[in-house]
Amino acid sequence: MSKLPKPGIPGIEPPPTTCEDPNCPFHGTLSVRGILLRGRVVSTKRKGTVTVLREYLHYVPKYKRYERRRSKISAHCPPCIPVSEGDEVIIGECRPLAKTVSFVVLGKAKTS
């Protein structure tokens, strides 16, 4: 029995290389559901996991202004997607893979 190709996520192209990782959204059985986020990779020190820094604006009603906030998100990085520190990536929400890992890297973001 052969694997059928998955329909994929709109706007995100699958990587050209293949891998045998069961937690790969393109070549494994991991389903991506929920939100898609964009951020910058700040750490690749853990095996198979990267830390993504997400910067966003939060509205403060009392002052009618926005404040800058940031959060670090741990995401699984499949071996078929090569990323390094400083890369802009798109991550998608998935089932919990570890205590702090509930996102997976879907690919590098196209810089405009």
What pLDDT digit, counting tens, does each position of 19-70 carry?
A: 888 999 988 898 998 999 999 999 999 999 999 999 999 999 999 999 999 9
DSSP string, 20-34: --TT-TTTSSPPEEE
- Between residues 2 and 36, the one the model is more confident about: 36
- Contact between residue 48 and residue 77 where contact means Cβ atoms under 8 Å apart: yes
Domain ranges of the chain: 32-108
The contacts of residue 74 (CB under 8 Å, 6+ apart) are: 46, 49, 50, 51, 52, 98, 100, 101, 103
Check whether domain 32-108 has CATH 3.40.630.30, yes or no: no
